[in-house]
Structure 1
Amino acid sequence: MVTMTQATTGTARSAGGATLDTITWIKLSSVTLPLATPVSDAKVLTGRQKPMTEVAFLFVEVETAQGHQGIGFSYSKRAGGPGQFAHAREIAENLLGEDPSDIGKLWTKLVWAGASVGRSGLATQAIAAYDVALWDLKAKRAGLPLAKLLGAHRDSVRCYNTSGGFLHTPTEQVLENATASLESGIGGLKIKVGHPDGKQDLRRLTAVREHIGDDVPLMVDANQQWDRPTAQRMGRALEEFGLVWIEEPLDAYDAQGHAALAASLDTPVATGEMLASVAEHWELIRQGAADVIQPDAPRIGGITQFLKLAALAEHQQLQLAPHFAMEIHLHLAAAYPIEPWVEHFDWLEPLFNERLAISDGRMHVSARPGLGITLSEQARAWTRATHEVGKRA
C-alpha cells in the first residue's frame, strides 16, 4: 500500500494539490462467452446475420497507487471483439499516472489518443470499458453503490426479460419461458417479431398474451427488419395487444421514419440500442423519433457519455430502457428521474460471482459498492488474451 504522501509525488503532484491518487496498473482481458443455444432474431431470418453463438467481452481492471480498484467492460456480438481489445491495448498507457477521479478528462484523452478512428463505434466502445472501470473505482472508494454515487431516484427498477422470446424458440417454449420469468419475479416480457409472414408474429403474440393475461407488461422487438410500409401495417395490427412499446421497427438510423411511425401509432416506439454515440442519439431525440430511448452504455462510450445522453432524454421527457448489460444499466436506470425499465438477460451471469436480486417485477440495487461485481473463475477460464501496463501497488 502506498501512503498519501507518496501518492502525491511525481505526476500526481504536478497535476495539483487536489490530486491524491494516481493510476498505476491496468489489465485488459479478452473474454469469449459461449451461448448454450444459437440465438436468432429477425436479422437471421432476413439473411443479414448468422445465428449468434458467442459474445466477446473486453474487461478492464484498474488499480491506483493507494490500492483502489475498479472493473469495467464492453462487449461485441458476432464480429468486433478482437478489434476492441486491440484498440484498448494501444491506448492503455495514456492512463498511467493520471488521477482516476478525472473521468471526463480521461475519456477525452483516450478519444484523442485514437482520434483518427473517430468518436463512435469500435473506438469508443473500447474506451467504454475504461470509463466504466473508473466509475466503479470511484464509487468503491466512496463506499457507495454506483447508483447512490450518481444520485439514485429509486433503489429498484422495473425489469423485463428478453432472452426467453427469440425467434428460434418454438412458441410452446416461449410460453414456458414466460411462466418461468414471471415466477422468478421479473415484471415484463419482450418477444421478438419479424417473421417473413407477419401473421406468424400475430399468432405467436396472441398465444403469449392469452397465456400471461392482459395485465403483464409486454413488448415486441423487430430488430430493424421492417421497411416503412411494413412497420406501419404491423404497428396498426399490434395495437390490440396493449404493448408497452414496439422496438426497432425500422433501420436504427432512420430517424425520420421512426418519427413518422411514432406520431401515427398509439403504441410507443422504442429505439437506440444500435447507435454508437451521443450525437447519433441526439438525432433521434431532435426529430422526435423515439418515445422510449434505449442507449447502451458500452456502445456509446461508457457511463460518462450515458449521463450526457440521459440529461438530453430527461429534458424531452422520454422514457428510458437501456439495452443489455444489466450489471451496468441497473445503476444508471436507478439514477434516471423518470421511471425506467431495465432489460434482464441471464447470459452474463457466469462471468460474475454475484447475482442481481429480482422480486415483485423489479431489479434491486444491492448494497455492494461500485457496480457490485467481481470476475468469476469461469470468466478467467474463457479468457483468450490479456495485456497489462504499469505495476501493481
Structure 2
Amino acid sequence: MPDRIRTLKLSLAYLPLAVPISDAKVLTGRQRPLTQVALLFAEITTEAGFEGIGFSYSKRAGGPGLFAHAREIGGDVIGEDPSDIGKLDTLLVWAGASVGRSGLATQAIAAIDVALWDLKAKRASLPLAKLLGSHRDAVPCYNTSGGFLNAPIEEVLDNAAEAVERGIGGIKIKVGQPDQLADLARVEAVRSSLPESVALMVDANQQWDRGTALRMGRQLEPFGLVWIEEPLDAYDAAGHAMLSARLDTPIASGEMLTSVAEHRALISQNSVSFLQPDAPRVGGITPFLRILALADEAGLKVAPHFAMELHLHLAAAYPGEVWVEHFDWLEPLFNERLEIADGRMLVPDRPGIGVSLSDQARAWTVETATFGG
C-alpha cells in the first residue's frame, strides 16, 4: 500500500545576524544592510509515521510572501503519496502559476519539495547524497561569511586565517566597491596572507558594467583566482559570455536565478565556467536536479550558493568538479553541525539531509500553519 501525506506544518522564522552585513549592493546604494534572514520551514508527516523537513529563505524582504504563498497552496499535498515528488512539484507549481513559475512562487514551493526529498531519503535510511547517487563523500569548501565589505581588512584577514585553521579549503571575499583600487588592495592583502594551497575567489555582487568588469578582470588575473563571481547583472548572459571568452579567470554566476529556464540561458550562451544554482531559490531539489543535468551535459563546474546543510548533498551527487559554500549563518537553526577536514566538507551519514530544528529556531518562529491531522 502506498503511504500518504497526513500533515504539513509551515513555519516562518527570522534569524537575526550578529552585525549588519554589507556587500557591494549596499555600498552602491542599491540595498540596505542585511540584518536578518527569513526562513520558511516545511515539516511533513505521513500515515506510516515518516517525517521530512525542508526549508527555503529570503534576505531583506519576502519572508511573509513566501509564507503566504506556501500557506495558500500547501494543503494540496494532503492525502498524496509522498514518493510522487515530480507529480507534487507540478501540482504546486501550477497551483500558483498565475503569479509565475519563478521568483517568490517557486521559492515558497522549495521548502515543501525539500521536505519530500528529506522524507524519501529517511524512509530509505540513506543520506540524501546517497539516495541521489553520490560521487564523493566530501566536497571542497570555501568560506564566504568572513569576507563581507562591512568588515575592515584586518578583520577579513583574521577571519580567513581562522577558516584555514578550521580546515576550510578556500576563501571568498566581496569586491565591487565604488573605489576599484580599494578592491584590488583588498584582494592583494588576502592573497598574500594565505598559503598558496588555499583557493581564493571574489564576488562583485552584480555591481560592474561590462567595461568595468573587463578592466577589473584583467587586473585581477595575476592573483590566480578560482573565479570572479557575478561581475555583471545576473540576467546579462551575453555580457558574462563576453567576459568568459576574454578573461583567463573563470566566471561564476547563477545564485540569483529562480528557474531552470534562467539557468539554461547562462548555459546555452557559454556565460560561465562555474554555475551557482540555489535549490531554495529555484524551487527545491526537483528543479535543481534538472539544472545539474544541464550543467553536466555542458561540462560545467558547479558551486551551489549558500545553504550548505542542503547543498552539500547535492554537490556530492554531481559528477563534475564542485565546491560548496561555507556559511555559518544558519547553524543556530539546527541541532547538528557539519564536519570539515583537509579543505573539504564531509557528507554526514545521518539519513535525509541530516538536520533537525533547534529550540532556537522554534523560538524565532513568528507564524505557523498546519494542514491535515
Given the two structures, how large is their TM-score scaled by the length of structure 1?
0.94
1:83 has 2:65 as partner: yes
Match of 1:243 among 225, 235, 240: 225
Structure 2 distance, partners of 1:224, 1:79, is 19
- Paired position in structure 2 for 1:322: 304
Percent identity between the aligned chains?
71
Q: CA deviation at 1:377?
A: 0.1
Match of 1:272 among 234, 254, 272: 254
1:292 has 2:274 as partner: yes
Q: CA deviation at 1:214?
A: 2.7
What's the C-alpha RMSD, in Å, of the aligned pairs?
A: 0.5
- Paired position in structure 2 for 1:228: 210
Structure 2 gaps, min length 5: none
| SS of 2:6 mapped into structure 1 | strand
- C-alpha offsets along residues 191-247 of structure 1, whole Å, 9 cap, x if unaligned? 100111111011111111111133310000000000011000000000000000000
Q: CA deviation at 1:274?
A: 0.1
Structure 1 distance, partners of 2:83, 2:149, is 44
Comparing 112-121 with 148-157, greater Cα deviation is found at 112-121
Match of 2:94 among 92, 112, 116: 112
Q: CA deviation at 1:366?
A: 1.0
Structure 1 distance, partners of 2:187, 2:352, is 39
What letter is aligned with 2:232? L
- Paired position in structure 2 for 1:3: none
What letter is aligned with 2:362? R
What letter is aligned with 2:222? E
1:196 has 2:196 as partner: no
- Paired position in structure 2 for 1:258: 240
Q: CA deviation at 1:92?
A: 1.3
Structure 1 distance, partners of 2:117, 2:350, is 14
- Paired position in structure 2 for 1:15: none
| SS of 2:54 mapped into structure 1 | strand
What letter is aligned with 2:304? P
Q: CA deviation at 1:305?
A: 0.3
Match of 2:342 among 348, 360, 385: 360
Q: CA deviation at 1:121?
A: 0.4
- Paired position in structure 1 for 2:109: 127
- C-alpha offsets along residues 307-337 of structure 1, whole Å, 9 cap, x if unaligned? 0000000001000000000011000000000
1:28 has 2:25 as partner: no
Structure 2 distance, partners of 1:213, 1:164, is 17
Structure 1 gaps, min length 5: 1-7, 9-19
Structure 1 distance, partners of 2:43, 2:29, is 38
Comparing 194-203 with 245-254, greater Cα deviation is found at 194-203
| SS of 2:168 mapped into structure 1 | coil
Structure 2 distance, partners of 1:119, 1:374, is 29
- C-alpha offsets along residues 60-84 of structure 1, whole Å, 9 cap, x if unaligned? 0000000000000000001101000
Structure 2 distance, partners of 1:209, 1:251, is 26
1:156 has 2:158 as partner: no
| SS of 2:40 mapped into structure 1 | strand
What letter is aligned with 1:182? V
